[in-house]
Amino acid sequence: MAEQSREVLRAEHISKSFGQVTALKDISMHLNRGEVLGLLGDNGAGKSTLMKIFTGFHQPTSGKLFLNGREVTLKSVAHGRQMGVECVYQDLALVNEINVYRNMFLQREPTRGGFLGILNDRAMRKAASEHLGRIGVNIPSVDAEVSKLSGGQRQAIAVARSVYQKSDLLLLDEPTAAMGAKESAQILDVIQRLREQGDMAIIIIAHNYAQVFDVCDRVNLVEGGKIVFDKPTAETSVQELTDLVVNEYRMARASVHEA
């Protein structure tokens, strides 16, 4: 661990356009190992797009990205993973028709027979079952097809899948969106444990900032593709964030009325 660099992520002046739509404008941020950043913002603010730039799913239109102190141009998600970036997408990226343990290893399945790529189901089943037990995820069986699980269980599987890889940067896009309070608490518990271990940097996108506030070290607010607020949680409060969001909402309403 000693030789791992402290600064895991640095983004400098990142912009991203999809044709006419500018999703991100001049985003800069940095994150250290062991830190948890909460990324807040309205729907369409650009949070998911930013995540997908960090994973290598999208390439930025301009700007620089540094991972572990080195500048990188991520060519693909596979490349991003190689560089130690893991992500739980908002849409979970689980396949309903496939069972839990195969989903857990999707795209990095242990195989036999070289280029034939015969799946090693036994190894996957065992590793998945042990890993889920270790982080305390509760499902009927790793043989269950994902379509048979509840929203919360699916979310837990998706988080577990990302945590299984010893990554440097873990990105969670609305990890508690589909969950009840009890299930959310379980996921936040996993995040808190990872934070205490201090091996990775974590970014959590959340609508419900009150819920994630306690596990975050810092909070950023994204608005119209820009970071408009950046404070350590120690220097802010759920109240201040609420005021910000209410303010944003009032301005949005005012502009609707004007139009």
Partner 1 sequence: MNDQTSAGTASGQTRTGDKPARRPLSGAGIFFLRQREASILIAGILLVIYFQISSSAFLSGPNLGNLVQYSATTAIIAAGEVFVLVCGELDLSVGMVYALTPFVMFFAVSAGLPVWLAVILGLLAAAVVGLINGAVTTLLKVPSFVTTLGMLFLINGFTLTISGGFPVQPQAGAVFTGIFGANALALMAWAVVIALLFQFVLKKTRWGLHTVATGGNPHGAAEVGIKTKTIKTGNFVLCSVLGGLAGILDAFRIGSIDPLSGGTEIMFAAIASAVIGGTLLAGGVGTILGALLGALVLGILKDGFTLLGVSAYTFDMILGGAILVTMVINVRLTLLKERGGL
Q: What is the 3-state secondary structure (H, E, C) of the chain?
A: CCCCCCEEEEEEEEEEEECCEEEEEEEEEEEECCCEEEEEECCCCCHHHHHHHHHCCCCCCEEEEEECCEEECCCCHHHHHHCCEEEECCCCCCCCCCEHHHHHCCCCCCEECHHHCEECHHHHHHHHHHHHHHCCCCCCCCCCEHHHCCHHHHHHHHHHHHHHCCCCEEEEECCCCCCCHHHHHHHHHHHHHHHHHCCCEEEEECCCHHHHHHHCCEEEEEECCEEEEEEEHHHCCHHHHHHHHHHHHHHHHHHHHHC
Among 4, 28, 73, 96, binds partner 1 (CB under 8 A): 96
Where does this chain bind ligand ADP (CB under 6 A)? 18, 21, 23, 41, 43-49
Using CB under 8 A, which of the segments 33-41, 81-89, 237-245, 248-256 binds partner 1?
81-89
The option from ligand ADP, Mg ion, partner 1, none interacting with 147 (CB < 5 to 8 A, set by class) reads partner 1
Instruction: Return the range that interacts with partner 1 (CB under 8 A); candidates 21-29, 128-136, 216-224, 233-241.
Output: 128-136
Binding mask 185-224 for partner 1 (x = CB under 8 A): ----x---x-------------------------------
> Cβ of residue 70: shortest distance to ligand ADP, in angstroms?
26
Q: Which does 135 bind (CB under 5 to 8 A by kind): partner 1, ligand ADP, Mg ion, none?
A: partner 1
Nearest approach in angstroms of CB 151 to partner 1 is: 10
